[in-house]
Chains A and B, each alone.
Chain A
């Protein structure tokens, strides 16, 4: 999973889809880790990736290290209190929406169209990544 996170991190750096695909791969990776791995691993991954993202980014509205740690805690908190499968979808959409709302409204002029693109494209990308990882990565890890 660490290799997957590194690949997602590189995807954000080289942006193979340029600015056509409005999503942050590392954010989706941390969301996936928070949903399917232990709290400590999610917190560690969130802190390291957040630190690296902050180090390589220009000034951001809120440090990613805080955002990713809060994301991990939020996901684990909801999962601790609600056990139903449908809650996963709620967590994914709420986390992506909250992230998009925060960054869209932290700008001088809120960008509604981009925010909607970000929410829709990130959600779809997350489900795609999640499907790939559940099929190939998680079974390989459990076999090892």
Chain B
């Protein structure tokens, strides 16, 4: 998808952001469900190579999101949005919503602006606006989302404290945006609210020319839209098919909203994994245990330990990935704050062979998780998208519950 219109970001708060003429074309909208009846709660997902003309995304998982001017049927369908269980909030490149009118959120007399930072100091930057979000038959009304400022948009540049590399085009992103549906309801939470004396840099107050760090109330922050649905609002169930040993060009799966709310999202006997205060659980691989285990659909591989500590050879072309000479069948054991253990089998194939193929979807791609000078490693276990293939993974939100267990938690 390309962006035919260049957005001019209005800098006056509470002014319609988008000035494109004749809004409403090209969008789709779903009528609200009648009260009491069962809502259509499933959305197709696709795992594929993404939409960059510059690179093929590995294990990119995408959905379509309907975004509307609040309270209206003035909507646009934004396809190819990354589905991320490791973050919270909807973030869309500005050009994708230039056809509808979205209103920015004010902070004082200025514009509330969001910065999301990635581990490599890259970032998404842009104003917070409110939109109705429609996913399957579910509706979340007046949700704060981030409009990612694109090159050419009239908006102050990100300060250096936000990061060093802007991810602000489809070619750089490989997607039109990212839909964060982690078990946190807000992206920052209590660390960013008024009254805190330090601020890690998620929210800024922007005039027409400059931005300064600011705080944002919980309701002003970017939200997980699932928690704002009127039904099926306690979490999600993501189901992806099994992938063959050599990978696949693409794969199709299903995202169901709600956990144990309808016949199609039953928790059943799934293993429940409660996070600690940092949002992590413990994972043991061979003799090494880390208390930083997490499940993240936005990670393209399983990332854990180092070549030395796993005994797995490293790749020569795609450095950082594992390249055993023959596929290794391994296990790791997860244990949450609620006790109980779950041993998960997984395979690690030769990363160079996989990534040199024409496939982009892999259930057996893994990489190292630390610098090799660390022994034992400064370690963690990132159960990325390969973990999701061939199973259903549940995410239950904080402040909600499912199966008589309060969230936040994972289950699978």
The answer to whether A and B assemble together is no
Residues of A within 8 A of B (CB): none
